Amino acid sequence: GPQASDDLLAGLNPQQLDAVTHRGPALLIVAGAGSGKTSVLTRRIALLLRNREAWPSQILAITFTNKAAGEMRERVGALVGDAARGMWISTFHSACVRILRREAGQFGFTQNFTIYDSGDSRALIKRLVKEHEADAYGLTPASVQGRISKLKNELQDAESYARDANMNDPAERLFTEIFADYQRQLQKANAFDFDDLIGQTVYLFRAFPHVADTYRRRFRHILVDEYQDTNHAQYALIHELTRPVQGEAPEPYASNGMMIFEPETTPGSGTGAEAGASLTVVGDSDQSIYAFRGADIRNISEFERDFPGAKVVLLEQNYRSTQNILSAANAVIGNNFDRKDKKLWSDKGDGEKIVGFTGYSQHDEAQFVADEVEALRRAGMPYSEMAVFYRTNSQSRALEEIFIRAAVPYKIMGGTKFYERAEIKDALAYLVSVANPSDEMALRRILNKPRRGIGDVTETAIARFAEEQGITFREALSHPSQLGVGPKLQAAIGQLDQVLTEATAIMLPASGEVPSATSVAEGLSLLLEKSGYFDSLRRSRDPQDEARLENLDEFVAVTRDFARNNPDGTLVDFLTEVALVSDADDLDDESGTVSLMTMHTAKGLEYDAVFVTGVEEDLIPHRISAGEPGGPQEERRLFYVGLTRARKRLHLSLAMTRAQFGEVSVAMPSRFLQEIPAELIDWRQSPGDVNSRGGTQSRALNARRQGGGGRDRFAAQPLEKRLTPLSTAMDRFPNKVTAKVRDNGDLELVPGDRIRHDDFGEGRIEAVTGEGAKRIAHVRFDAAGQKKLLIKIAPIVKL
Ligand code: ATP
Ligand code: MG
């Protein structure tokens, strides 16, 4: 039996111990947030290796982000040392890329295929929508892309879709044609989109059982984290991998030279290779937040049926958060129907109360966050232990403005991704054009970057020539004089051809020669210099071009880093790594900065202090979710994920007015706030405070209140009253202007009028927009600068 004194098992509770040491075909660990699911997976891997129950090469562990994979690898390494090398710990996507790179030749692709990210797919789909004139039928690139992605996640292709679709409907027919065409284009470009990485691997396994057998023999232990967020394609992949080997007994080496298993005796039983792999999955159906991408909670709820003989372990102790934080999270998630109730508890004590704050505007809210961050910092908490979450990326702007002003160091995780910048995409397209000359999209992208005078007409001429001659677009570039274009254009095309050829010689030297470790960096520099790309930016007077130049320098630095970390790394390896950098993965993970991210990105992470911002109706729950079946429930799970990231301090904040979707609107407190027991929240400024005061300057008010103990007045009110939406509060007191409630409903203001504001002083009206209760004054204050004010409630008088 397991020894609790064993250092690998030390400190585990009995259920965790059970989960780490259980051996059998299938194990499901279901448990709430912070109960040690990911830790248990890590220990389980370490134990398998340490006890020599498995070779590293026999383990496949799937995590949700590359970052999580890196952390797990590190932790296993810390537990068992060198034995950890050779394991596959990766995301679904990375694992599938590795498989496809080896096996692509089986079905008409080559090893150097390109990976299209969602921007690339969008560009291709946009072209196809245009070509098919489908916009006339209401098909937008975004909607087509979304539908194709969803179908692929359900393992449908254009053909299978067409069988069930109503082909009399012209829009349906067009969609099906575009879907089929899109797939043809991908194949022609030797490219997979993100969904294909999974779907095509499943297809590969099903169409070529001997290939599937190779991997079934190899992976004897498969472990999946965040199983609640797997979609059907990912589920099918796991299913394929865990099936018993179908074919003959194996050769130790597969035909492609890959070692299938260590030639010595396999640890465990000698005949075990014929049975299906052992599968361990961990998940929490309360944290399922990717239904919109096709994730299917049923993968968890039906696990026992799908994997007969499965053992189920429940974990109930939360090791992350204080009881107050946990109680709030439990109360919120308890409002979802159709779920198994879990009793998550913590022995960390009640801890601090949750801090609530309502700002007058999102800047006011951001100022509160910045102030609290600084206060915690002064109290000794490092910035790297603090995180700020929001529902939508656009909310980060106000936070960033205030953070910059307050000199709070921060980084955005996900968000404006480095690799989505146009200049980086251009540089990547140059590299892809070298790595995969069949990729026409990449070539078309760089055709006129920098400007060479090559326009649509020339592009079409190249494409036509390629088609006539039965050669590729890339090959057509090598025949500039035959394209029927003028001498200047011929020279431009010839020069591009020349640059690509030179770079190819560096990065992909003729067979037999090994490219130097720094070949990618050298090749990239050559491409950017000789193409004239760098020069065009250097010559420019646009200050943005200077930033672009810096970004490209940084990108060249990335290739140098890559060379340092991967001495044998090839161009294709580099492009793979770049393509798989995902939302939660940052270029550099500096400590000493506050992390800003969406609640989706926050999954699986933990911080000492967490700020959940924008806790308003229409944001969380988001307004697009309202009409979706199950939408509000999924939003509640997302909010639950946000709350349960916090170890010690949790802050919930909102703003009463928010500039969003191009207009300033009145916000209402999220319904989720009301689901948290009142005694758990310490309101520094409640929605009621803001209602009754109009505009406020939060810190002044705070100071006053903390001195006078006035805060409790609000805590004592019934919840529903404290959370009365602003608009309702005003309906209740129409024009009855008490000392506290300001209502300027009838105040006439025109541009040129002068006003005085309680906090901002005197100013001049520049414009008035909106109607009724939502009329906004655009004011230039003499001292405080430009502001937008909601006329109805702002503490202003006309002079
Ligand atoms: P999530 O659902 O958010 O992904 P999780 O269930 O994966 O959470 P972990 O991240 O594994 O939880 O663990 C949460 C925290 O609790 C971690 O800091 C981990 O180190 C700690 N922890 C887990 N088990 C124990 C234990 N037995 N003793 C002490 N700390 C533990
Ligand atoms: Mg986890």
Judge whether residue 737 has pLDDT over 50: no
Pocket probe for ligand 1: among 43, 319, 326, the residue whose CB has the most ligand atoms within 8 Å is 319
Q: Which residues contact 728 (CB under 8 A, 6 or more apart)?
A: none
Residue 707 has a pLDDT of 35
Judge whether residue 259 has pLDDT over 80: no
Q: What is the 277 CA–ligand 1 centroid distance (Å)?
A: 26
pTM over 0.90: no
CA pair distance 651, 372, nearest whole angstrom: 9
**Residue owning the nearest CA to atom 28 of ligand 1:** 11
Residue 11 has a pLDDT of 93
Q: What is the DSSP letter of 763?
A: E
The answer to whether the annotation marks 283 as part of a ligand binding site is no
* Beta carbons of 76 and 41 less than 8 angstroms apart: no
Q: Is 500 exposed, middle or buried (0-12, 13-18, 19+ CB in 10 A)?
A: buried
Task: Identify the CA nearest to 49 among candidates 92, 11, 29, 78.
Answer: 78
Residue pLDDT, tens place only, 83-99 = 777 899 999 999 999 99
What is the atom index within ligand 1 of the atom nearest the CA of 315?
6
- Collapse the DSSP code of 761 into the 3-class scheme (helix H, G, I; strand E, B; otherwise coil) and give the result: strand
Residue pLDDT, tens place only, 631-681 = 889 999 999 999 999 999 999 999 998 876 556 778 899 999 999 999 999
Task: Identify the CA nearest to 626 among candidates 676, 665, 670, 662.
Answer: 670
- Sorting pLDDT into bands at 50, 70 and 90, what band is 416? low
What is the atom index within ligand 1 of the atom nearest the CA of 35?
6
Phi-psi region of 36 (alpha: psi -120 to 50; beta: other; left: phi over 0): left
CA pair distance 642, 622, nearest whole angstrom: 14
Specify the residue for token string 């502001």: 787
Judge whether residue 401 has pLDDT over 90: no
The answer to whether the annotation marks 31 as part of a ligand binding site is yes
Note the ligand closest to the C-alpha atom of 318: 1
Residue 412 has a pLDDT of 81
Q: What is the 170 CA–ligand 1 centroid distance (Å)?
A: 53
Pocket probe for ligand 1: among 38, 44, 281, the residue whose CB has the most ligand atoms within 8 Å is 38
The answer to whether the annotation marks 613 as part of a ligand binding site is no
Judge whether residue 752 has pLDDT over 60: yes
Residue pLDDT, tens place only, 35-65 = 999 999 999 999 999 999 999 999 999 998 8
Look up residue 482 and give its two tokens: 């035959």
Q: What is the 405 CA–ligand 2 centroid distance (Å)?
A: 35
Residues in the 5 Å CB sphere of ion ligand 2: 37-38, 604
Of 82-96, 112-126, 400-414, where does mean pLDDT reach its minimum? 400-414
Residue 617 has a pLDDT of 92
Q: What is the DSSP letter of 796?
A: E
- Sorting pLDDT into bands at 50, 70 and 90, what band is 400? confident
**Residue owning the nearest CA to atom 21 of ligand 1:** 319
Residue pLDDT, tens place only, 506-560 = 998 776 567 777 889 999 999 999 999 999 998 887 666 777 887 788 788 888 8
**Residue owning the nearest CA to atom 29 of ligand 1:** 319
CA pair distance 589, 90, nearest whole angstrom: 18
Q: What is the CA radius of gyration of the chain?
A: 30
* Beta carbons of 44 and 51 less than 8 angstroms apart: no
CA pair distance 590, 575, nearest whole angstrom: 23
CA pair distance 787, 277, nearest whole angstrom: 63
Residue 761 has a pLDDT of 82
Identify any residues that bridge with 26 across adjacent strands, giving them in sequence order: 279
Amino acid identity of residue 46, one-letter, is A
Q: What is the 68 CA–ligand 2 centroid distance (Å)?
A: 9
User: Which residues does ligand 1 sit against, CB inside 6 Å?
Assistant: 11-13, 16, 31, 33-39, 284, 287, 319-320, 604, 606, 644
Q: What is the 37 CA–ligand 1 centroid distance (Å)?
A: 6
Query: What's the angle, vertex CA 389, arms to CA 385 and CA 394, rounded to 5?
Result: 135
Look up residue 91 and give its two tokens: 């995301």
* Of 325 and 690, more confident: 325
Judge whether residue 225 has pLDDT over 80: yes
Residue 660 has a pLDDT of 60
Helical H runs in 622-725?
A: 631-643, 671-674, 687-693, 698-708, 711-716, 719-722
Q: What is the 605 CA–ligand 2 centroid distance (Å)?
A: 7
Q: What percent of the chain has pLDDT over 90?
A: 53
* Beta carbons of 762 and 755 less than 8 angstroms apart: yes
Judge whether residue 221 has pLDDT over 80: yes
DSSP string covering 394-445: GGHHHHHHHHHHTT--EEESSSS-GGGSHHHHHHHHHHHHHH-TT-HHHHHH
Query: Does ipTM come in above 0.95?
Result: yes
Judge whether residue 591 has pLDDT over 60: no
Residue 257 has a pLDDT of 42
Long-range contacts formed by 371-374: CB under 8 A, 24+ apart: 371/406, 371/699, 372/611, 372/651, 373/408, 373/594, 373/609, 373/611, 374/406, 374/408
Judge whether residue 420 has pLDDT over 90: no
**Residue owning the nearest CA to atom 18 of ligand 1:** 320
First to last CA, the chain: 84
Pocket probe for ligand 1: among 39, 42, 286, the residue whose CB has the most ligand atoms within 8 Å is 39
Helical H runs in 104-164?
A: 118-131, 141-153, 158-164
* Beta carbons of 358 and 689 less than 8 angstroms apart: yes
Of 430-444, 458-472, 508-522, 615-629, where does mean pLDDT reach its minimum? 508-522
The answer to whether the annotation marks 37 as part of a ligand binding site is yes
